[in-house]
Amino acid sequence: MPNNHATPQDAEDAYYDAIEEKNLEALMSVWERSDDILCLLPMMPAQRGSDSIRTLWEPLFKGEITLEIEIRHLHWIETDRLAIHLVEEKVSSSGQPPTPVYATNVYRKSDQGWQLLMHQNSPTPPPPSLHVPSVV
């Protein structure tokens, strides 16, 4: 099912729509079909390749939890073939208050349009009362 997204932003919109809709096929169609792809969710091991990424998301979509994700763009780097978007995701899970996390999304252009190549999350800082200094 080629998606042929004309811009990196189209691919990004489709990615977050698929998560909110818990639509695994739509989600996988945003990813490039290659073993290069890599997904790193907070505090989970990095997953590489289509099969591993499908296996990562499948139970999350089958569960009871519903997610709403509000995206704020922090930083864009784009070339003809690669695009890197750093965003803040405000994730509301089943009506709970939103948890902010950072995410970097890397898109690559091919004959099939723009597709997701890498997704990396980082937790944002905890509230000051919980803050533990950390380096590197």
Q: Which stretch binds its own copies (CB under 8 A): 2-10, 21-29, 98-106?
A: 98-106
Note whether 75 binds its own copies by CB under 8 A.
Answer: yes
Which residue is associated with the tokens 């091919």? Answer: 110
Q: Three-state DSSP class for 118?
A: strand
In the complex, least distance from residue 55 CB atom to its own copies, rounded to whole angstroms: 15
In the complex, least distance from residue 60 CB atom to its own copies, rounded to whole angstroms: 5
Residues composing the chain: 136
Note whether 132 binds its own copies by CB under 8 A.
Answer: yes
What does residue 91 show for φ and ψ, rounded to 5 degrees? -100, 115
In the complex, least distance from residue 134 CB atom to its own copies, rounded to whole angstroms: 5
Q: Which of 60, 62, 70, 110 binds its own copies (CB under 8 A)?
A: 60
Judged by beta carbon, residue 19 or residue 30, the one nearer its own copies is 19
Task: Say if residue 103 is exposed, middle or buried (CB neighbours under 10 Å; 0-12, 13-18, 19+).
Answer: buried
Judged by beta carbon, residue 24 or residue 67, the one nearer its own copies is 67
List for the chain the helix, strand, coil content (%; round to 5): 25, 40, 35
Note whether 79 binds its own copies by CB under 8 A.
Answer: yes
Note whether 70 binds its own copies by CB under 8 A.
Answer: no
Q: Name the amino acid, one letter, at 26.
A: A
Strands ordered across the beta sheet of 38-40: 47-48, 38-40, 113-123, 99-110, 82-93, 67-78
In the complex, least distance from residue 97 CB atom to its own copies, rounded to whole angstroms: 15
